[in-house]
Every structure is written in C-alpha cells, then in structure tokens.
Structure 1
Amino acid sequence: MLSTGLPQGAVPKLERPGPLRERVYEALLELITTRALQPGQHLVESELAGHLGVSRQPVREALQRLNTEGWVDLRPAQGAFVHEPTEEEADQLLTVRTLLEAEAARLAALHTGKEGVDALYDIVEQGRLAVAADDVTRAVALNAAFHAKVMELAGNAVLAELAAQVDRRVRWYYTPVARLRGGTAWTEHADLVQAISDHDEQLASRLMREHTEHTRHSYHHRKAS
C-alpha cells in the first residue's frame, strides 16, 4: 500500500481533453472532497503522479492551487497534507449554507410545478435506497443532488452561484456524518418536498433551515457518536 493510501478504485481516470494541470486538479479535489484522501493525510507528489499516470509537475501545480484554496496545507520541509478543517471553519461554512438553502427552499416553493416536485421525490427515493444499502458514497452524492435541485428550482442565478462556491465543502463536511444522519435526513427531505409541493414558502424555508442545522449539529457531535 502506498503512503497516500488510496482505496481500490478510488482514483478517477483522467480524460484527455483539456489542460493536464486542470484535470489533475479536479481529480485531486474529488479525492479530497469524497475523503478518499483523508484530512491530515500526507500527499506525496511522486505517488500521486503514479496513481494518476502523469508527471510530478502537474501534480505540484495542482497542490499549489489546492493550497491557495484551502484544501491542502503546504508545510516547509514536510510537504503537502490534506487540510484538517477546524470546528470553527465547519461552523462558519455550514451556517452560510443554512442561510442560502433556506432562501432557496422558499423560492422553490414559490416557483416549482409538478415536474420539479416529481424530480425531488425521485431523488428522495434513490436516497432512501442508498441508505438501506449502506452505500455512503451514493447517499452523499444524492444528498448533494437533492440540494442542487432545490437550488435550481429556486430560479435565482446569483443564489445558485453563491451556493456552488460552497457545494464541495458541504460535501466534504457531510461525508463523515452521512451514516449518522441516515434515513432521518431523507425523511426531512421528503417533508421539505411536500412543503414545496404545497407552495408553502414559510414552511419550506423553516424545514430547510432545521434540516441544515441538524447536519451542522451532527458534524460537531460526530466524534462523540
């Protein structure tokens, strides 16, 4: 096992179109946000390059960019490490997420028709199946898809752009609590979809706020579980 410790099948295949440094950056960011590369893990350029089938230069460039964006810490004389988020960092990010998504839910309740509601219910059903199968990776992806769909249905481009900026970090924080939240999260999702279907703006906003707050609290209490 290499010191980077990547799970079997975790490394994404790099598609050929596009600048190599961009593709390496996206591959490493995906490995970090899905926690295939764990917070605090040492990132060795040569080993990552071997996993991805590239030279060390694009890996070095990607790590420098990830450092600038706060995903990786570059330590003098030690190398690169996946950033370990503090409780304060998580709290600030998830608080902002609550504000954005509560408004998105309100707008979705105002604008969404049957087609949008059906799409949300379909994601909820898939999410419940993923939880039943204990497929955490799929549950996390479906959770992200559900919230992205609500944001899309809100119909506010500026709100969607702001939400997109925090989406990957939300996935990063949600992954370690996905199993803890389990089916409860999807019951909350279903209740939210009903409020959206009923065009109850205030209820939809309140339910989304409560839902995202539950996730925030779960993250902070995960170590005691």
Structure 2
Amino acid sequence: MSGRRAKTAAIAGDGAIAPSKSQRAYDLLHDRIVDGTYSPGYRLVLDAIGRELDMSVVPVREAIRRLEAEGMITFERNIGARVAEIDELEYHDTMETLSFVEGAAVMLAAGLYSKSDVDEARAINAQMRESLAAFDPVQFTALNEAFHRRLTDVCHNEVLGDVIDNGWKRLARLRQSTFSFVPSRAISSVDEHDAILALIEEGADPRSIELAVRAHRLATPDAFLHRKRPAAP
C-alpha cells in the first residue's frame, strides 16, 4: 500500500493491520485508474465493484467519494461515477512549466554533478530501458520521476526545487502515467536521458544542457496531445 493512501484499517486476528473495506475498494479503483484499466470516461458500476470485492456498495461509495475529491472520478446526475477525463490544457501547462524549471535547475547544477550523481542517474535509466520489454507504464513513470529528480536535486536553488516538487504532485493528481496513452514515447524518452547525461559528462555548455532538458520534457505532452484516439462508436 503506498504512503499516499490513508491508513484506515482494522486489526486482523493475527495482529497484522488489515485494510478496511473502503480502503480495499479505494486501492482497487485507484490502481485501475492509474494503470489504465479504467480509462478516462469509464463508467463505474458500484454494484459490480461491490460483488467483485464481496462487499456492499456503501464502502465502494465511500471510496468513490475519496477519489472524486482527488479529481480522479467525476459524478454526473443520472449517469453516475465515471473516471475523470484528463484535463489536457492543465497537463500541457504543467509539463511546459516543468520543462522550464527543470531545464533551469539542471543548467544551474551543470558544474556540480559528481561521477556518482551521473552513475546513479544512468543506473535508473538502465532500469527504465530494461523495463521496456515487459512494459508497465506505472513502474516506468516512477522510474522516470526518480531519474529526473536525481538530476534536479543537485541544484542548490530551493525555490526551484519547490516548484519542481509541486509540478510532480500536480502530474500525479492529473494522472500518474501518460505513458499508458503513448507507450511508444517511452523508448525515445530513455534515449533522450542518455543524451542529456552525455552532455553533462562531457561538460557541455550549461545552456545546451538546459535546452536538451526542456525539449525532452516537452516531447511527451506533445506526443500525448497528438496521439491517435480511438474512433467513436
């Protein structure tokens, strides 16, 4: 269970902490929304979810209210609960902002990276490349965030760091993985990471590194916004 989830629970007979029914419903719905099993616009049938989890609709409804408060589910009169559509404008604006502030952070840190900093970032990117064979967009996104944070954390500007942190939090609220919608972007992303690390290692002009980071960050929302959408029924 991830740290961001509530710890509402009951004590099981063996002394272990067992999640409440509402928490179990929340975990199921949250994970299926994040991994793309329930795509934007998907209608959630409370009775069916309750039967799957062997519980009444009451804890399912509680879980849906939590997810609605987090912006992951919308509730429409006479229709019911649906997975929220991704706010494409907010997503683009968030990624655009991150492209500028991350680029600036890496530029400021350009002369500060140690060999271990680069080696650790390269190791994360190697994990990302290995994960492409059995692609899991949620795992890939987590590794992607770890890679980017490894580079930006070296920057000593704490205000920039706060803006970057808020950007990642906003992305998580919008949808944890856009790679679910543009999986082909993952391969290019890993290659671009290698190119950025090469620029850092060779001591390239900080401005060149900044522009490379910025272009890399903007390529994913561009691919998402221009993705091929399924034909309407």
Q: Normalized against structure 1, the TM-score is what?
A: 0.76
C-alpha separation in 2, matches of 1:51 and 1:107: 52
State the secondary structure of the residue aligned to 1:118: helix
Counterpart check, 1:149 vs 2:138 = no
Q: CA separation of 1:210/1:44 partners in 2, compared to 1, >3 Å: closer, same or farther?
A: same
The residue number in structure 2 matching 1:202 is 207
Q: Which has the larger radius of gyration?
A: 2
Q: CA deviation at 1:98?
A: 2.1
2:135 pairs with 1:135: yes
Q: Corresponding residue for 2:192? A: 188
Q: Secondary structure at the match of 2:74?
A: strand
Secondary structure in 2 matching 1:85: coil
Cα-to-partner distance string for 1:72-119 (whole Å, 9 max, x where unaligned): 110112210001225434322322332333233334435432222111
Q: Does 1:158 align with 2:159?
A: no
Correspondence for 1:18 among 7, 32, 43: 7
Corresponding residue for residue 223 of structure 1:
228
- In 1, the alpha carbon distance for the partners of 2:83 and 2:33 equals 7
Unaligned runs of 5+ in 2: 9-19
Deviation at 1:39, TM superposition (A): 0.9
Contact preservation (8 Å) 1:173, 1:219: yes
Does structure 1 conserve the Cα–Cα contact (< 8 Å) formed by 2:107 and 2:210?
yes
Structure 1 segment 1-150 matched on structure 2, within 5 A: 18-19=7-8, 20=20, 21=22, 24-25=25-26, 27-52=28-53, 55-131=56-132, 133-137=133-137, 138-150=139-151
AA aligned opposite 1:61: E
Instruction: Name the CA distance, whole Å, in 2 between partners of 1:69 and 1:166.
Output: 11
Residue 219 of structure 2 corresponds to: 214
Q: How many residues align?
A: 210
Q: Return 214-223 or 82-91, whichever deviates more.
A: 82-91
- Please give the secondary structure, in 2, of the residue aligned with 1:74: strand
Q: 1:41 and 1:34 mapped to 2: Cα distance?
A: 13
SS at match of 1:147: helix
SS at 1:177's partner residue? coil
Secondary structure, counterpart of 2:228 in structure 1: helix
What is aligned with 1:176?
181
The answer to whether the 8 A contact 2:91-2:171 is kept is no
Q: Percent identity?
A: 26
Residues in 2 aligned to 1:94 and 1:218: alpha-carbon distance in whole angstroms: 12
Cα gap change, 1:40/1:199 in structure 2, threshold over 3 Å: closer, same or farther?
same
Mean CA deviation greater in 115-124 or 192-201:
192-201
CA distance in 2, matches of 1:22, 1:148: 30
SS of residue paired to 1:80: strand
Distance 1:171 1:154, change over 3 A: farther
Partners of 2:54 and 2:111 lie apart in 1 by 49
Q: Conserved in 1, the CA contact under 8 Å of 2:125 and 2:190?
A: yes
Structure 1 unmatched runs, 5+? 1-11
The range that moved more, 188-197 or 112-121, is 188-197
Q: Residue 73 of structure 1 aligns to a residue in which SS?
A: strand
Task: Give the conservation status (yes or no) of the 8 Å contact 1:104–1:159.
Answer: no
- Which structure's residues are more often helix, by fraction? 1
